[in-house]
Every structure is written in C-alpha cells, then in structure tokens.
Structure 1
Amino acid sequence: MKDFSGRKRILVTGGGGFIGSHLCERLLTDGHDVICLDNFFTGVKQNIAHLLDHPYFELMRHDVTFPLYIEVDEIYNLACPASPVHYQFDPVQTTKTSVHGAINMLGLAKRLKARIFQASTSEVYGDPQIHPQPEAYWGNVNPIGPRSCYDEGKRCAETLFFDYHRQYGLDIKVARIFNTYGPRMHPNDGRVVSNFIMQALRNEPITLYGDGSQTRSFCYVDDLVTGILQLMDSPKGFTGPVNLGNPGEFTMIALAETILRLTGSSSPLVMKPLPVDDPRQRCPDISLARDTLGWQASTPLEDGLKNTIAYFEALLASD
C-alpha cells in the first residue's frame, strides 16, 4: 500500500502516550504517513500537539478494545496504561486493553497481511529469580496480585501474538521494554523517575520504598525508539521477544541523590514500605538485541535526566 514515493502508512496505537508520541515523531522524520490512535485515558494531546499540522500525521480517537477498520502497511501496538498508578486505577480495563486490544490489532494485521509490533514489558518477568533477565526466562509472576492485570495481560498478549504467528503465519515483532524515561513522561504516573523529579523540583520529600537498595535500569526514550525501529526493520523470520533496555543498574538511593544534585533541590529522603509484588531487581540481558539488531542504549543517565528535568521544569512553569 506504499504510495509512489515509497512512503509507508503506519498505525501507532497509544500514539498519544509517552513512548508512542516519540515513535510517531521519529516515523514522520523518517518520511512515513502516521496514523496516531489513542483514547487519551493516559496519553495526552499535548504530547502530539506539535505534530497536528504535519501533512502526513493523522490523529484518531479510538479505544483498541473495539475493532478498527483501516488500511495500513504496518502496526505498532503500544496501547495500554503502563504505570502502576494508571493500570491499577481500572484493572479490568487494563486487562481488556492488553488482551482485546491485541486480538483486534492482530485481526487487523491478519486481514491486511501487515507486519505488527507488540510493546510488551519487563513486567512479564515479575519479581525475577534470574538476574539479569534473558528472553528465555519464563518469569516469576503473581497471577492474582494487584499488578497482575498488567503483568498477565501483557503475557497473554504475547501468547496471542505467537499463536497468530504460528497459526496464520503473521509477521510479528515483540519487544520487552524495560524502564524508560525522558521528556513527555506523565508527571503523575507514579514511576520512580517522574516521581523523584517532581518531588525534587517542588522541594517535597523524595519517597523511597523499602530501604532504597532495590535496583532498576533506565533507558532514555530516544534510545528505546531506535531499538523499536531496528526490531521492526529486522528480517521477517526474527520475531523476538527481544529485551530493549539499559543494562546499567542503579539503586533507588543513587537515583534520588543524582536527581537532587542535578536539580539543586533541598528535598529530604523519606522511607516507606515496599509495595506488594514490587521486584527487588529488574535488569535486561540485551545480548540478543546487541547481537541480532546491533542495538544498545547509548545515552548516559545524567544526560537523559537533564533533558527530562528540563521538560518537567517547563511543565511546572506553564502551570
């Protein structure tokens, strides 16, 4: 369905979200025709407002839990609340978005014979007993806990993708996305980077859970989008799943101290109990991405944090 210029028509579900908006922007830069689909439950129009006048950008308000009839060449399925605050607000709808959304987008891809990308998550590994986590690890997930609507919803979506691939020969790409940060993060999404930055900029106490020794790895959004595009452009026989993230680990205390230094904040550190099923460690083994895609994150944490802090400073100033 490419036009005479070779321009692809690409659907991005969840395109008004944090990662989705950066992906839409990059696809437009690469010369494609982009349809951004979002119901704006967690995505915000501000993320894509600067794209609305672009001649090859189209915004569609739609919920992926309902079927969609449209003609496109490729599909990037990113639609789903991705932070605990948002996905636990309506856990039943979260599961529906992951499962029904996957079924609807896979059905669309099957009809169109289109390549389709699934934004899966490191949450499929649960509270891992293997560290770092390779793609071959099946995970340690609580199926009935408060986080299971997201964890199990994404695991079921992966099942559907691979069943469509095996049963119908559908051309799929699956990425397991680890902690990602950068401009356009939702200021109230409950994620550690946005939490710490907003608390620091307001000189409020910085909330650490547990003793602060638990670790996370942080990938800057530009690096992640590059990985997504490289996976989507990989040969047809390579389906994934592929871990996309930064294998560099940081404790929560180290992250808080870095943000305090970069913001010049006087915020004190406050310890609170660890949430239910919150993993102690989360770090990707990116050997597959490195060896197969030639991809690895390259943005140093401090550089990415400076850009993210500047975004939140501008957001607070505008408010």
Structure 2
Amino acid sequence: MTDEKTILVTGGAGFIGSFLCESLLEDGHIVICLDNFHTGSKKNIAHLLHRHKFEVVRHDVTTAIALEVDEIYNLACPASPIHYQFDPVKTVKTNVMGALNILELARHTKARVLQASTSEVYGDPAVHPQPETYQGNVNPIGPRACYDEGKRCAETLFFDYRRQFGLDLRVARIFNTYGPRMRADDGRVVSNFAVQALRGEPLTLYGSGLQTRSFCYVSDLVVGLKALMAAPVGTAGPINLGNPVEFTMVELAELVIELANSSSPLVYMPLPQDDPRQRKPDITQATERLGWRPTVPLREGLGHVIAYFDAELGRARPALRALDAAMPVPSGLVAGVGAGHHGKGSGNGADTGFERGRVR
C-alpha cells in the first residue's frame, strides 16, 4: 500500500486527467480534481464521485487557489488545436498564469509539482526523432503559438522557480495520446478518423497524408506520468513521454477504416499552417531514468477507441462490441471502466450522477 498523499490534478475532468485521477485513487490516495469544465466533461469523472477520497473543485487555474496538497499534476489547458485556437488569449493565460498560480501553490505547500508540457514545444521539428535537448522550431506568431509558446513559457517558469525557490518539480513533454473519453469534436486525428469512419463519412487527410505521428495509449501515459512524479529528487526533466512507433496519417486512416469495418473514402485538404511534418519522441531518458516504455500497440488501442465512439454515437454495433471485448484491458485502466463503459467526453456534460454538495 502506497503511503497516502493528497494529490491535486488540475484539468482532472479532461480525457487524460480523468484516467490519472482514477489511477491515483486506485493507489489509495486522496485526489482533488480541479477543472473549470471548459473542455473537460463531468461525465468523465461521474463514476468516481462515490469514492470517499475523491473531491471535485470547479475552478479556473488562471485564478489563484489555496489548498493543502502533497503533490500537484498540472494538466489544465485545452490540448486540441480546435479548442486552444478558439480563444488563443485564454489559452496563453491558462498556460502562463495557470503555471504561476500552481507554482505559487507548490511553493507555499512545499508540494512536488509536475507540469504536463507537450511535444508541441518542438514545433515543426528539424531533428527527428526529437530528444529533450532539441530546442525546437516554433513560429511565435502563428495560429498554434498560443499553445506552443504558452507551454514553452510555462516550462521556463517551472525551471526558474526551481532555480530561484528550490521547488521539487518535474516536466513531462507529452506526445500524441489517445483513448476512450476523447471528445468527438476535439479535432484530433484519432477522434476525427474514428467518428468519420463510423458515420461512413470521408476521412479527412491534410497535405499528402504522409506526415507522421506517434500514438501513445492513455493507460501507458498515466503510468509514465506517475513514474516521473515518483522519480528521485532532481529528476526534473524535461522528459519525453510518448510512443516511438511512427505512423503516417494514411496508415492511420487505413487502420481505422479496417477496424471500424467502414467503407469511408479518403479526401485530401490543404495542410494547415505550421502543422508539423514529423513527430516521434526519443524516449531514451524515460526508459533509462524511469524504466518506462509504452506497451499498448496501436491496433489494440484503436479497437477500444472505435468501440467507445461507436457507443457514443448511439450505435454500438455487435461487431464492434465483440472487437472491444476481444481486446485486453490495458494496464492502468480499471476493470469495468474500459472502452465502451464511460460517459461521453464531449461537451461540458450534464450534472447527471453528481451528488449535491460534491462539486464546488
């Protein structure tokens, strides 16, 4: 049994945050989920509300907050281009002001704090795969800069607080992550392809479709985040967390069509500005310092995701239920809440399942 800690997860009702909250509860900790429910969903955490060690606080990290905590995972920020570009000024504020507020909380409580950074700090990389030593190729005035540069500035603040105040911190650079509870409207490639294939719509590819990404299943990422948090003092990072197996967008589209048993065609659209051509993590540091490597292959993870979205769309075709049932539940996911058993990850959700007084 792990010594009980009080752990704050900002953005805890989001796709990744909700799985992290769930895993930390399974470890026996007290978990405070903080979220403003702008892109997070109440339904992502509804199944946790009966747990006596789980608390939900409705709050925006751009405003300071006082809590007594031992550890903080700072995941608060819209992570998909559609959402972070909708209100770019708010995105910058969330990254920068949010980081400042969380760092001040950590400084006053002497909590260990982990910043969820991103592979977007590398921009459209000229080095492949991307090691943590690569300083990036980011357009500071482009449409993605509110997120890219916001996360880069947050990293700056974290390391300045470490140098100036001696904070015990960690920075994780998270590469493309996917899994159940993704929002159907988040504009990310896995959710886009899954929903389009299930609806029989054309799968939208941009540019040649030969740009690459590396996809990490959410349960693997949660294991990596926890390993980084638990690493010895001085393991500040930044450390890449992602799956180093690389796929082109065409390969991903064809696999989704196959798994969804879809006849959707492929259509090609112009490449968005500053869209990275290649994205693949060098995870040498994660492997050597944390003993971490992802274990869930893309085919297995996509099977769960497609079955999840099929249920979300109200279809739940028998063939996809069988596909989901045949896939092993990845380590890190709690039995009974795997794909096909969650609430929706889209929209702010309704208050269904929330007990009066459990959210403030």
Bin of the TM-score, shorter chain as denominator length: over 0.9
Q: Which residue of 1 aligns with 2:244?
A: 247
TM-score normalised by structure 2 residue count: 0.87
CA distance in 2 between counterparts of 1:166 and 1:230 reads 23
Counterpart for residue 130 of structure 2:
133
Distance 1:213 1:70 in 2: 47
Which deviations, in whole Å up to 9, do the C-alpha atoms of 1:30-78 show, x marking residues without a partner? 0000000000110010100100111110011000000001111110000
Q: Deviations over 1:245-273 (max 9, x none)?
A: 00000000000000000001111100000
| Residue 291 of structure 1 pairs with residue 277 of structure 2 | no
When the two chains are superposed, the root-mean-square deviation of aligned CA atoms in Å is 1.0
Task: Give the corresponding residue for 2:172.
Answer: 175
- After superposition, residues 247-266 of structure 1 pair within 5 angstroms as 247-266=244-263
Q: What SS does the corresponding residue of 1:123 show, helix, strand or coil?
A: helix
**1:310: Cα distance to partner?**
1.2
- 1:221 equivalent to 2:218? Answer yes
* Alpha-carbon distance, 1:24 to partner: 0.2
- Identity, in percent, stands at 69
Instruction: Tell me the alpha carbon deviations over residues 262-313 of structure 1, each in whole angstroms, 9 at most, x when there is no partner.
Output: 0011111000000000000000000000011010111010000001111111
Residues 1:308 and 2:280 are matched in the alignment:
no
Number of equivalences:
315
Matching residue of 1:186:
183
Q: Deviations over 1:106-138 (max 9, x none)?
A: 000000011000000000000000000000000
* CA-to-aligned-CA distance 1:147-172 (integer Å, 9 cap, x gap): 00000000000000000000000000
Q: Write the distance in 2 (CA, Å) between the matches of 1:238 and 1:10.
A: 19
Amino acid at match of 2:311: A
Structure with the bigger RCO (C-alpha within 8 Å, sep 6+) is: 2
1:6: Cα distance to partner? 3.3
Matching residue within 230, 233, 241 for 1:233: 230
Q: Write the distance in 2 (CA, Å) between the matches of 1:228 and 1:218.
A: 16
Matched residues in 2 for 1:67 and 1:161: separation?
16
Distance in 1 between residues matched to 2:264 and 2:43, nearest whole Å: 29
- Structure 1 segments unaligned to the other structure (5+ residues): none
- Hey, what does 2:143 align to over in structure 1? 146
Specify the code of the residue in structure 2 equivalent to 1:26: S
Q: Which residue of 2 aligns with 1:156?
A: 153
Look up the SS of the partner of 1:88 in the other structure.
Answer: helix
Report the Cα offset of residue 317 of structure 1. 1.1
Deviations 1:206-247 (A, max 9, x none): 000001110000000000000000000000111000000000
Residue of structure 2 aligned with 1:12, choices 1, 6, 9 = 9
**Equivalent of residue 96 in structure 2, options 94, 99, 114:** 99
1:7 CA displacement: 1.2
